[in-house]
Structure 1
Amino acid sequence: MTENTIFSPISVLSDVGLQRAKALNELGIYTIEDLLLYFPFRYEDLRPQNMADLVDQQKVTLEGTVASEPVIARYGRKKNRLNFRLLTDQESVMVTFFNQPWIKKQVTIDERFAVYGKWDARRRSLTGMKLLPFSSGDSSEIDAVYPASQHIRQNTIKKLVTQAFEQFQDKIANIIPETLIEKYRLIDRKTTIHDLHFPDDLKSAKIARRTATFEEFFVFQMELQVLKKRDQTENGTAIEYNIDELKKFIASLPYELTDAQKRVVNEICYDLKRPIRMNRLLQGDVGSGKTIVAAIVMFAAITAGYQTALMAPTEILAEQHANNLTKIFEGMGVNIGLLTGASGSKSKQRRALLAGIEQGDINLVIGTHALIQDDVKFKKLGLVIIDEQHRFGVKQRETLRKKGADVDVLAMTATPIPRTLAITAYGEMDVSTIDQMPNGRKPVLTSWVKNSNVRGMLDFVKKQFKAGHQAFVVTPLIEESESLDLKNAMALYDQLQTEFEPTYKVGLLHGRMKPNEKDEIMRQFKDNEFQLLVSTTVIEVGVDVPNVTVMIIYDADRFGLAQLHQLRGRVGRGQDQAYCILVADPKNETGIKRMKIMTQSNDGFKISQADLQLRGSGDVFGSKQSGVPEFRVGDPVVDIGALQTAQLEASKIVNEEDWRTDNQFRQLSDYLTIVMQKNANFD
Structure 2
Amino acid sequence: MSVKDSVTKLSGVGAKRAENLATLGIERVEDLLEHYPFRYEDIQERKIAEIQDQEKVTIKGLVVSPAVMSRFGYKKTRLQFRMMQDHDVFAVSFFNQPYLKDKVEVSTEIAVYGKWDAKRKSLTGMKILAPKQEEDFAPIYRVNKAVRQASLVQLIKQAFDGYYDQIEENLPLSLLEKYRLMPRKEAMYSMHFPKNIEEHHQAKRRVVFEEFFLFQMQIQGLKQQQRAESNGLAIAYDVAALKAFTQQLPFELTTAQKRVTNEICRDLRSQKHMQRLLQGDVGSGKTVVAAIALYATMTAGFQGALMVPTEILAQQHMESLVQLFEGFDVNVALLTGSTKTKERREILSQLASGAIHVLVGTHALIQADVEFSHLGLVITDEQHRFGVNQRKILREKGWRPDVLFMTATPIPRTLAITAYGEMDVSIIDELPSGRIPIETRWVRPPQMPQVLKGSLTQLQKGHQMYVICPLIEESEMLDVQNAVAIYEELQDFYGSDYKVSLLHGKMKNQEKEAIMEAFKQNESQILVSTTVIEVGVNVPNATMMLIIDADRFGLAQLHQLRGRVGRGAVASSCILIANPKNETGQKRMQIMTETTNGFVVSEKDLELRGPGEVFGSRQSGLPEFAMADLVADGHILEVARQEAAAIWQQVGWEVLPDFAPLVTYLKTIQQEKPFFD
Q: TM-score range by the shorter chain?
A: 0.7 to 0.9
Q: Which runs of 5+ in 1 are unaligned?
A: 75-79, 480-487, 510-514
Residue 651 (1) aligns with residue 642 (2):
no
CA–CA separation in structure 1 for the residues paired with 2:115 and 2:338: 51
Tell me the residue number matched to 1:482.
none
CA–CA separation in structure 2 for the residues paired with 1:554 and 1:93: 43
Tell me the residue number matched to 2:48.
51
Q: Is the 8 A contact 2:448 2:577 kept in 1?
A: no
Residue 238 (1) aligns with residue 234 (2):
yes
Where 2:410 maps in the other structure, the secondary structure is: coil
Supply the RMSD in Å over aligned alpha carbons.
5.0
Aligned mate of 2:396, from 402, 413, 422: 402
| Deviation at residue 461 of structure 1 after TM alignment | 5.1
Tell me the residue number matched to 1:455.
446
Tell me the residue number matched to 1:214.
209
Tell me the residue number matched to 1:577.
572
CA–CA separation in structure 2 for the residues paired with 1:501 and 1:380: 52
CA–CA separation in structure 2 for the residues paired with 1:592 and 1:38: 33
Tell me the residue number matched to 2:292.
296
Residue 439 (1) aligns with residue 433 (2):
yes
Greater CA radius of gyration, 1 or 2? Answer: 2
Stretch moving more, 54-63 or 378-387: 54-63
Where 1:660 maps in the other structure, the secondary structure is: helix
Using a 3 Å threshold, how does the CA distance of structure 1 residues 448 and 93 change in structure 2: closer, same or farther?
A: farther
Where 1:6 maps in the other structure, the secondary structure is: coil
Tell me the residue number matched to 2:666.
672
Q: Aligned pairs, how many?
A: 636
Tell me the residue number matched to 2:170.
175
Tell me the residue number matched to 1:641.
635
Aligned mate of 1:542, from 535, 542, 553: 535
Tell me the residue number matched to 2:266.
270
Tell me the residue number matched to 1:472.
468
Tell me the residue number matched to 2:72.
72
Using a 3 Å threshold, how does the CA distance of structure 1 residues 88 and 424 change in structure 2: closer, same or farther?
A: same
| Residue type of the alignment partner of 1:407 | P
Tell me the residue number matched to 1:250.
246
Using a 3 Å threshold, how does the CA distance of structure 1 residues 354 and 383 change in structure 2: closer, same or farther?
A: same
Q: How does 1:134-213 map to 2 (within 5 A)?
A: 134-140=129-135, 142-146=137-141, 171-213=166-208
Q: Is the 8 A contact 1:444 1:580 kept in 2?
A: no
CA–CA separation in structure 2 for the residues paired with 1:190 and 1:582: 52
Q: Is the 8 A contact 2:437 2:571 kept in 1?
A: no
| Residue type of the alignment partner of 1:208 | A
Aligned mate of 2:306, from 291, 307, 310: 310
Residue 380 (1) aligns with residue 374 (2):
yes
| Residue type of the alignment partner of 1:210 | R
Q: Is the 8 A contact 1:81 1:96 kept in 2?
A: no
CA–CA separation in structure 2 for the residues paired with 1:438 and 1:9: 59
| Deviation at residue 223 of structure 1 after TM alignment | 1.4
CA–CA separation in structure 1 for the residues paired with 2:510 and 2:191: 44
> In the TM superposition, what whole-angstrom CA distance separates every residue of 1:1-48 from its partner, at most 9, and x where no partner exists?
xx87639899998557897588557xxx78765665454433333455
Using a 3 Å threshold, how does the CA distance of structure 1 residues 188 and 109 change in structure 2: closer, same or farther?
A: closer
Q: Is the 8 A contact 2:503 2:512 kept in 1?
A: no
CA–CA separation in structure 1 for the residues paired with 2:441 and 2:490: 26
Tell me the residue number matched to 2:497.
none
> In the TM superposition, what whole-angstrom CA distance separates every residue of 1:643-668 from its partner, at most 9, and x where no partner exists?
22212211122122212333332332
| Deviation at residue 631 of structure 1 after TM alignment | 4.7
CA–CA separation in structure 1 for the residues paired with 2:189 and 2:180: 18
| Deviation at residue 192 of structure 1 after TM alignment | 2.8
| Deviation at residue 579 of structure 1 after TM alignment | 0.9
CA–CA separation in structure 2 for the residues paired with 1:569 and 1:165: 53
Identical aligned pairs, as a percentage?
Answer: 40
Using a 3 Å threshold, how does the CA distance of structure 1 residues 565 and 499 change in structure 2: closer, same or farther?
A: closer
Where 1:283 maps in the other structure, the secondary structure is: strand
| Deviation at residue 265 of structure 1 after TM alignment | 0.8
In the superposition, the TM-score normalised over structure 1's length comes to 0.75
| Deviation at residue 602 of structure 1 after TM alignment | 1.1
Stretch moving more, 146-155 or 425-434: 146-155
CA–CA separation in structure 1 for the residues paired with 2:185 and 2:510: 49
Tell me the residue number matched to 1:133.
128
Aligned mate of 1:281, from 263, 267, 277: 277
CA–CA separation in structure 2 for the residues paired with 1:635 and 1:373: 37
Using a 3 Å threshold, how does the CA distance of structure 1 residues 170 and 373 change in structure 2: closer, same or farther?
A: farther
Tell me the residue number matched to 2:4.
6
> In the TM superposition, what whole-angstrom CA distance separates every residue of 1:69-88 from its partner, at most 9, and x where no partner exists?
434247xxxxx976565534
Q: Is the 8 A contact 2:313 2:534 kept in 1?
A: no
| Residue type of the alignment partner of 1:312 | V
In the superposition, the TM-score normalised over structure 2's length comes to 0.76
| Deviation at residue 448 of structure 1 after TM alignment | 3.8
Using a 3 Å threshold, how does the CA distance of structure 1 residues 165 and 377 change in structure 2: closer, same or farther?
A: farther
Q: Which runs of 5+ in 2 are unaligned?
A: 492-499
